[in-house]
Structure 1
Amino acid sequence: MSSEGAALAGLAAFGVGGQSQNLPPDRNQGPLLDRVVWINLAISGVFLVARLWTKWRKTHRLYWDDGLIGLAWLVGLVHATQITTAVAHGLGRHMQYLSTDQREQTIRLGVLSLLSSFLSPMIGRIAFLVTVYYLAGTDKRVKRWPVVLFVAGQLLVNISAIIVFYTQCGSDLRLLWNALSSAADLAEHYAKCSDPVLQTDYGYFQGSFNTVTDAFLTLMPAVLIQHTSRSLKTKIGLAFLLCLSAVAMIASIVKTFYSKALSEPLDYTYDLVALVIWISIELNVVIIVSSLPLMRPIFTRRRPRRANEERPPTPNWGSSTTFGSFMAMKGARSTLARVDSEEAIMPQNAVPMRNLGGGGINVTREVSVTYESSNQPFVHAALVGLIEGEIANPKLVRR
């Protein structure tokens, strides 16, 4: 039997366009789907806010990777909103319990939500690729051109997937969500649209490439960690933070498996719930694993300095570290100042004047440091812990 004949037989079996004597239970997975989507988005939102807060507190700047990951979360918000609206129309229930209008509205919203489901994880992966590009700039033994190739590949493969999906019926998008309204609409869909199997095949290819990208984002930081002179304990901690794209890789594999449902145009409103759940998991996991490494300063404590311990010198890289960001003009310089108060201008071994009955002489010293827009790598490497020292000056303020 042809795919069209099988679909028509399926419509009859499901009671679309007629009555069925073997109705399945009227289960509603919509509320569960709604909770999963919003809980996932809320969790990734917490990680995003923590990432942005950490970077701003430490550097008073946001960079390209921060802007991209924020955009990925906003696109994920659009996806969650579309899914919630689709649930209100019947997503999560069997089609035969929905009216014709409910079926059309639910599938239309589902079709439109696929755009954000393609874009959000793509943007999130590109954001992490930009972060890795910065980090690779601190190690001359590591080439950065593979990162650029993967960015180009992400754009090419995922944008192509969007084009392939939304042009499968030419310019008549209505056929994408009206196909299951009646047998006549389904016949028109098969007459004018490409084979649904094509969507599944390209979906497998797209998912495979995204999985390969996640594998690259797992291995590349591992190479950078191996090249550092940090202790074994520190390297293990860095690997835990920087190599978590393995989790996104697993989510991508599972989502790719469930994408086979796109080639089975039967009971879409019920059968696609698992796919939507894994789409939500994937896009939010990508945001989380991209943000966690840059939150490292939150989890590290600075060892308190003893009374007789000299103040450590400022790291050499600090005076030339860039704080140029996507919000600043290209080539611009930013001057920051740190104010250190109550520092006695006395030799270390001198007797404090307060012990002699007098008051100590305190001075307010202003230190100006100019950061050029050429060393983003060292800022990011310091934040994640790949190089010695951290941007540990929360009192840095814009002059």
Structure 2
Amino acid sequence: MASTNQGNATDDKGPLIMAVMWSLTGITTALVIARMYIRSRLLHNLGADDWLIAGSMIMGLVYCSITAANVGIGYGKHAWLLSDSTVEQASFLNSLSFLFGIVSFAMPKLAVTAMLTRILNPSTLHRVCLWVLTSLAALVSGICIIILFTMCDPPRALWETHLVTEGKAKCLDVYILIDYAIFTGALSAFVDLALAIYPSTVLMKLHMSLRKRLALCAALGLGAIASAMAIVKCTQLKGLADKSDYTYGTAELVIWTNIESNVVIIASCIPTLQPVLELILGRRTTSSYNNSRNRYKGSSQPPDSSNDASKMSKPRKPDWGITTVESQESILGAEERGTDCHPLGAIRRTDNVTVEYETRPQNEPGEPRTSW
């Protein structure tokens, strides 16, 4: 391998790649497992968004595994420190990993859209706009994969660069791929930002305390961070043009691709983790979720509304007292949420009604009855 003598022989981004990728991917995996547990065991309401997120996690794990194997053979070091065969092998593994990396940040957008349409019940127009936007982002990302593997004829010349110098293969200008990848990243950032802003436009109109509305907006708006990560990743795409030091020049791109996909998945999981927090703090138990579901299974009424009449009709106590009646009203009605939405998974409004009463004194014989 011809030496370019750029950089130091001790330069190695491999440890940094492994530290960032496995730490983030580990956190993501734990959150996805917690989400699947909540949706399947506590709420018994797994949806398309949950399966899409699980698929994205698997793609991310494959991406990390391929990159780990690549780092093991020398990826992250300067190309002039490696043999020609090692550079070709590292280039092949890197190109292969990008396939799973691109899918891992495209799929969560579809999952977020499925989640938003399930819990926010948007109008038909908004629903169509959300699905068209995220489907377009997924389509553009898929085309990016096709361009990547059709840049050269034959495709193996993408990593076996000696075929081009020997005149046995032809490759398109690498900036065609870079420019399209920048367009893909910009669209991805825009979609992430749109999915983060949209919930706020709905939640801020609800009749609940400002604190709760802001908390929900923050939980559902974490995708804005993923938008920033996509923009940063676009600035690293120029590393694809560094053919003389490909194993070192594209390391930052690998890192930021992983960061973007993990941040999108984490942002989509956080709004679903409230039951875990309640279990940890001891506010609820696993059996309470199961009991709630079994009690109201198949009922279109909100969970606590059936208890209101019985509470109001109970005999009065013999002495003065205060009874607090709590009723819960679904902000999104059952007929609006759809039959596949579990009541516990809906946004609810809670009203507390306090009823004061006291025992009427007994009238003496012969005294006229006084009215209240």
**TM-score, length of structure 2 as denominator length:** 0.76
Residue 63 of structure 2 corresponds to residue 102 of structure 1: no
What letter corresponds to residue 388 of structure 1 in structure 2? Answer: R
Partner of 2:136: 153
Which residue, out of 121, 126, 133, partners 2:117?
A: 133
Measure the CA separation in 1 of the matches of 2:200 and 2:6.
55
What letter corresponds to residue 338 of structure 2 in structure 1? Answer: N
Deviations 1:290-345 (A, max 9, x none): 111111233357989xxxxxxx9x99998239xxxxxxxxxxxxxxxxxxxxxxxx
What letter corresponds to residue 375 of structure 1 in structure 2? Answer: G
Measure the CA separation in 2 of the matches of 1:63 and 1:372.
18
After the TM superposition, which residues 223-372 of structure 1 pair with which residues of structure 2 at under 5 Å, given as runs? 223-300=201-278, 319-320=299-300
- The SS at the match of 1:319 is coil
Counterparts in 2 of 1:188 and 1:283: CA distance versus 1, 3 Å:
farther
Partner of 1:165: 148
After the TM superposition, which residues 47-196 of structure 1 pair with which residues of structure 2 at under 5 Å, given as runs? 47-137=31-121, 139-140=122-123, 143-170=126-153, 172-179=154-161, 182=162, 185-186=164-165, 188=167, 192-196=170-174
Structure 1 residues not aligned, in runs of 5+:
1-15, 305-311, 322-345, 352-370, 390-399
What letter corresponds to residue 40 of structure 1 in structure 2? Answer: L
Verify the 8 A CA contact 2:118 2:337 in the aligned structure 1.
no
What letter corresponds to residue 153 of structure 1 in structure 2? Answer: L
- The SS at the match of 2:10 is coil
- Percent of pairs identical after alignment? 28
What letter corresponds to residue 128 of structure 1 in structure 2? Answer: V
Measure the CA separation in 2 of the matches of 1:56 and 1:373.
23
Single out whichever of 110-119 and 51-60 deviates more from structure 2.
Answer: 51-60
Q: CA RMSD in A?
A: 3.2
**TM-score, length of structure 1 as denominator length:** 0.71
Counterparts in 2 of 1:132 and 1:315: CA distance versus 1, 3 Å:
farther
Partner of 1:387: 348
Structure 2 residues not aligned, in runs of 5+:
285-291, 302-312, 319-333, 351-372
Partner of 2:28: 44
Aligned residue pair count: 314
What letter corresponds to residue 261 of structure 1 in structure 2? Answer: G
- The SS at the match of 2:240 is helix
Measure the CA separation in 2 of the matches of 1:163 and 1:248.
24
- Aligned-pair CA distance for 1:164: 1.1
Measure the CA separation in 2 of the matches of 1:123 and 1:289.
13
- The SS at the match of 2:211 is helix
- The SS at the match of 2:46 is coil
Deviations 1:4-44 (A, max 9, x none): xxxxxxxxxxxx34x56777323222122112111111010
- The SS at the match of 2:208 is coil
